[in-house]
Each structure stands twice: as structure tokens, then as C-alpha cells.
Chains A and B, each alone.
Chain A
Amino acid sequence: MQARTAKTILICEDDENLRQLIRVVIGAGYHVVEASDGDEALELAGEHHPDLIILDLMMPRVSGMDVLRRLHQDGGPTGTHIVVMSAWPDADGAALEAGADAFLQKPFEPDALTAIVNDVLGEPAA
């Protein structure tokens, strides 16, 4: 368990390699929770109230887009930022419309992800 001061990040991505990459890129200093499908993502979002959700769109069972919609249906995730990450080249518009705060196209620049995380959550707790 991390200290209470550490911000929580939920990574929703079905590809294990990419989960690891995201973890490595955002670095230590955050409380990281991981989901490999849409169901798990919704469950963990409800449980942990993450400060940031990094959401892949194409996941088994419940797609990232449905996760996004459902999170907003439940009164909106107060204080939760959502970054959508997808290999679909033309998904940015729909994602932003559905309530995402930012969109990252796969493959992504690690620095771009770090910048977004820092921008949204501030510098990580040491």
C-alpha cells in the first residue's frame, strides 16, 4: 500500500506489454491499479476512485467507449481525469465527445504520456 498522499492511476489495457510500458513510463510515485478488460475497469474505478484513468478503447467484454459512457452516466467521475489511448486512428473525436480529457494515439511518445500525467496530477509525490 502506498502512502495516502500518492495519487491513484487506473490503467485499463488488455495488452500486458502495454500495461507494463505505461507503468514504466509514468514511473513510481503513483498508486497504480490495472484492469485487463472493461468489466474490471468499471469495478476498479468504483472501488479506488482513481485520480486518473488511462483507458484503452478496444478491450474484451465492455469496450473502452462503453466504460467512458458508463462512468459519465453515474453522475460523472468527480475529480477523475480520463486519458483515452487507442490504436484506432480516428477515435479521438468520439472519445473527447464522450467525456475524455485527453487522447493519445498508439503508438505514443512516452514523454507525451508523462507530460499529460504531470499536467493533470502535478509532479508525483517523492
Chain B
Amino acid sequence: MRLRSISLSSRILVASIVLAVIVAGVFALLIHAILTLDDAREREAHSKEVTAATVVLEKLVVDLETGLRGTVLSLDRSFLEPWDAAVKELPGRFRGLEELVAGDPAQLRRVRAVRTAINNYVNDFARPLVDIARDAPAVVRSAVATEEGQRRVDEIRSQFDQLLATEDARAEASAESATTQSRRAIIIGVVALLLSALLILLFGLYLRRSMAKPVREVATAASSLAGGDLSVRLEEGGPGEVGELTSAFNNMAEELERRGRELQSQNEMLRESEHRKSELIRIVSHELRTPLASILGFTSVLLTRDVGEEEQRQYLEIIDREGRRLSALLNDFLDAERADEGHLQLEPELIDVGRVVAEQVRLFEGQSDKHTLDMDLRARPLPVHGDAHRLAQVVGNLLSNAIKYSPEGGTVQVVAEQDDGLVRVSVRDEGLGIPDELQENVFAKFFRGDAPASGIPGSGLGLTIARSVVEAHGGRMNFESGRGKGSVFWLELPKAAGG
């Protein structure tokens, strides 16, 4: 949709220009109508001037005739005074009328014809008649002369009538045109007013729909967002800037929600870690108290009771063993802490991992009569550049776990082999196994899964330390397991080149 991509400000600009052009056009029409009306009025006024000038001339002709007739009848020269005045006035009046009708050739022709007729009447008829009247009054009073005079004057009058009638028609046409123009101007004005009002209304509605409504929606959504509802979203789209606004708003809401979730998960992790820490304190104190109970208890017995020599020795052995257990436990805590900070100390030398495994298996064989330890070390020697004590600790941990987590007994299968530059040790048990949902935390510090509920002792540190030791050797460690299916824990170490 190309239209959608046109920005709102461009649209408003275009709409404003269109509105302005329409309003200007409408007003131009109105002004034109008014000017035409003016023109018609002017023409009407002009016609009236022409009529007035014509009437004045007609009156002069009447004066001429009256003067002539008086002179002829009375032979009194005094009657000729108005006649002379009229004759003198005629040329000026005609010039004025000719100027008025200069733009109208038909009327000009008529005016000139009247002028010629009057001149002829004055020069060819009236003056000779006045001259003859002195010598032969009877002749000038004859019917022939009188009739001739009457005919000429009638001719002139009829020419004047024609002139006036034409001008009247012109004036009437102009007046009619003026009325029409004035009506048209009123209609155009009203239509223009209504049209402009309608356009402004439409423009306002458009602004409201395309700007006010989306802005209000954004404001409402922003209030919801501020109120804590981070899931609020706007329908994206809308022209130009509105589209940008809604999509920017949605991005912002998305980002806020994402950060909220992040914060929440960080919070949960913190709470989890806090929980683990307090769990750790409980575990540490519990784990320390059990050997401590033996040490303090037997010491107290030795100090306060009479005990035979043989028992004395046995109790001291227990105190010694439990003291060492306590010490080992403390070392585990410290190791876990060091592994956490990456400060695990190794004392590497060329060793046979097979020998380390064999020693540990021998050590654990005597610890449980319910378990059979099955060892496969056919591939010996398994040379590795490593810390024998630390690796023994790792293998010991795997064996101890295999026994602890198969409380019903069974076979623990230990295999050490080499393959493709790697030495691999695996410990398989037939025990409880690890449910899928707990597997991702198996190597986490202090994680013990279902062990506490099952009464299986431990600090939850063994595997954390074991994996750190293996990784510090450049190897890796992992497991496969399932609920009730037992577990296989394995580790791989780089084989020493010299072996």
C-alpha cells in the first residue's frame, strides 16, 4: 500500500492546499460575478445619460420649431432669439452625445443622421424661410411651406424616437443583466459558503480520525502501561507518523515487558541462590555435626568413664577417622569455593588413570556388602598428564555416588578405556537414576535432587568439584540417566603424548 506510506504531515499539507485552492476559486467566482454586476450597472447608468442628452437635444429641436413658427406668423424678430440660442447650443450638445455613444457604432450612426437632418432643417429650410418671410410673408405661411416644415420636424422626431427606443432597450437589457448577475453572485456566495464550511468540517473530521483518535488510543495504552499492565499492545498501522507512533509504542511495551521478565527471572535466580545459601548453611552445619557428635561423644566417654584398653583404642580410632572426615568435608567446601572462583590447584605429573581407578575400586569394595563392583581395565596403561590425588577424588566421588544412589544394592560397573587420543572412565549403577526435570542441575553446587528426602547423605558438592577438576585437566564430564533406570557418569581426559 503506497498510500499508507505517505506521511501524515504531507497529507495535512496536501489537504490544506486543496482546501485553500477550492476556497480561493470559489471567491474568485464570487468576485467575478460582482464585477460583472458592476459593469451591467455602469452600462445602465450610461444608457440613462445617453437618453437624458437625447431628450435635451429633442427639446432644442422643439425650441427651434417654436421660434421659427413664431417668427413666421408674427414677423417679429424677437421670436428668433430662442431659435438663435438653440442653433448656437446644438453643436456642443451633439458633440457631448457623440462622445457618449462613441463606443456604440449603431447609435453613433443614428446620432449623426439626426445631426445631419437638423442641420439640413436649419440651413436648407429654416434660414431661407426666415429670409423669405420678410419679403413674402404669404409664401412662408402657405400650406406647402407649413407642411414641409412639419414633415422635416416629424422626420427628426421619428429619428429621435428611434434613438431613444434603442437606448431604452439597451438600458433595459443592462438592468436585466445586472439583476441576473446579482442573483448569480448571491447563489455563488451561498454555495461557496456552504461548500467551504463542508470542506472545513470534512478536514476537521479527517484530522480527528487520523490524529486525535490514534493519539488518544496511545495515551490510554500508555496509562495502562504506567499502571503496570505490560501486555498492552496497539493495533499497528495507520498513516505515516501514526503508524510510526503505534509501532514505536509496541516496541517500547515489548522492551518493557522483556526487561520486566528479565528482572523477574533475575529476582527468582537471586531468591533461588539465597535459598541455596541458607540451605548450604543448614547442610554444612548438619554435615559437620554428625562426625562432631562421634568425636565429642567418644572423647567425653573416654574422659569420664572407665574404659578397657581395647575399647580405648577403638574409640580413639573412631575419633581419628571422624576427625579426618570432618577435615575432608571442610576441604570439599573450600574446593567448591576455589572451583567457583577458578583457583583449583593441580599438581600434574604423568600418571596411569587405570591405577587410580583400581585403587579407588579396591577402597570402595569393602564399604558395602549389597553392591558388587565390576571393574574393566583391559586397556591399561591409560597415561594422562594429571593430578593423581585430584583424579582419585573424582573417581571416588563417582563410586560413592553410584553406591549411595542405589540403596537396593546391585552392580556398579567401572570401565576405563582409551580411544582417539582420549582416556575415558565411566561408572554405571543400577540405582534410582535422575528424573529428567532434575538433570540440568546435577552439577550445580549444593544440588542434591531427591536425596535429602530419601535420607541419602552428602553435601551436594562432590560432582561440582569433580567436574571442575576434570575441566581443569582439559577434559569433560557428563552423564546419562533416567528415573529408575540408573545412571552412567563418565569423564574424558586428554591422553598423555608420552604414553
Q: How many interface residues does B have (CB within 8 Å)?
A: 28
CB of A28, distance to nearest CB on chain B (Å): 12
Q: B322 within 8 Å of A by Cβ?
A: yes
In the complex, the answer to whether A21 meets B301 with C-beta atoms within 8 Å is yes
In the complex, the answer to whether A59 meets B455 with C-beta atoms within 8 Å is yes
The distance in angstroms between the C-alpha atoms of A38 and B455, with both chains bound, is: 9
Partner of A110, one of B285, B301, B455: B301
The distance in angstroms between the C-alpha atoms of A15 and B438, with both chains bound, is: 28
- A-binding segment of B19-27, B126-134, B288-296: B288-296
Q: Mark B398-420, 1 if CB is under 8 A from A, else 0.
A: 00000000010000000000000
Partner of B294, one of A15, A37, A63, A111: A15
Q: Mark B272-296, 1 if CB is under 8 A from A, else 0.
A: 0000000000100111011011111
- Interfacial chain B residues near A14, Cβ < 8 Å: 455, 457
Partner of B292, one of A25, A89, A107, A109: A107
- Interfacial chain A residues near B294, Cβ < 8 Å: 15, 17-18, 21, 107
In the complex, the answer to whether B304 meets A110 with C-beta atoms within 8 Å is yes
Interface residues of B in 385-408 (CB under 8 A from A): 407
Q: A62 within 8 Å of B by Cβ?
A: yes
Choose among B282, B300, B304, B407 the residue with the greatest number of A CB atoms under 10 Å from its CB: B300
CB of B279, distance to nearest CB on chain A (Å): 12
The distance in angstroms between the C-alpha atoms of A18 and B457, with both chains bound, is: 15
Closest to A14 in B: B455
Q: A115 within 8 Å of B by Cβ?
A: no
Closest to A106 in B: B293
Q: A20 within 8 Å of B by Cβ?
A: yes
The distance in angstroms between the C-alpha atoms of A37 and B454, with both chains bound, is: 10
**With A20-B318, A107-B289: A63-B455 Cβ-Cβ less than 8 Å:** yes
Q: Mark A12-40, 1 if CB is under 8 A from B, else 0.
A: 00110110110011000000000001100
- Interfacial chain A residues near B298, Cβ < 8 Å: 17, 21, 24
CB of B303, distance to nearest CB on chain A (Å): 10
- Interfacial chain A residues near B407, Cβ < 8 Å: 60-61
CB of B358, distance to nearest CB on chain A (Å): 26
Q: B453 within 8 Å of A by Cβ?
A: yes
Partner of B290, one of A38, A61, A63, A87: A87
Q: A45 within 8 Å of B by Cβ?
A: no
In the complex, the answer to whether B455 meets A58 with C-beta atoms within 8 Å is yes
Q: B342 within 8 Å of A by Cβ?
A: no
In the complex, the answer to whether B293 meets A107 with C-beta atoms within 8 Å is yes
In the complex, the answer to whether B297 meets A108 with C-beta atoms within 8 Å is yes
CB of A110, distance to nearest CB on chain B (Å): 5
In the complex, the answer to whether A107 meets B297 with C-beta atoms within 8 Å is yes
Q: B219 within 8 Å of A by Cβ?
A: no
- Interfacial chain A residues near B289, Cβ < 8 Å: 87, 106-107
CB of B152, distance to nearest CB on chain A (Å): 151
The distance in angstroms between the C-alpha atoms of A38 and B407, with both chains bound, is: 12
In the complex, the answer to whether B300 meets A60 with C-beta atoms within 8 Å is no
Closest to A39 in B: B407
Name B residues whose Cβ lies closer than 8 Å to a Cβ of A.
282, 285-287, 289-290, 292-298, 300-301, 304, 311, 315, 318, 321-322, 407, 452-457
Apart from A21-B318, A24-B311, A38-B455, what are 13 other A-B pairs with CB-CB below 8 Å?
A17-B318, A18-B293, A20-B318, A21-B301, A58-B457, A59-B455, A61-B454, A88-B286, A89-B282, A106-B290, A107-B294, A111-B300, A111-B304
* 16 residue pairs A–B, Cβ–Cβ below 8 Å: A14-B455, A14-B457, A15-B294, A18-B297, A21-B294, A24-B298, A24-B301, A60-B407, A62-B455, A63-B453, A106-B292, A106-B293, A107-B292, A107-B296, A111-B300, A111-B304
Closest 9 CB pairs of A and B: A87-B289, A107-B293, A106-B293, A60-B455, A17-B294, A21-B297, A107-B296, A87-B286, A59-B455
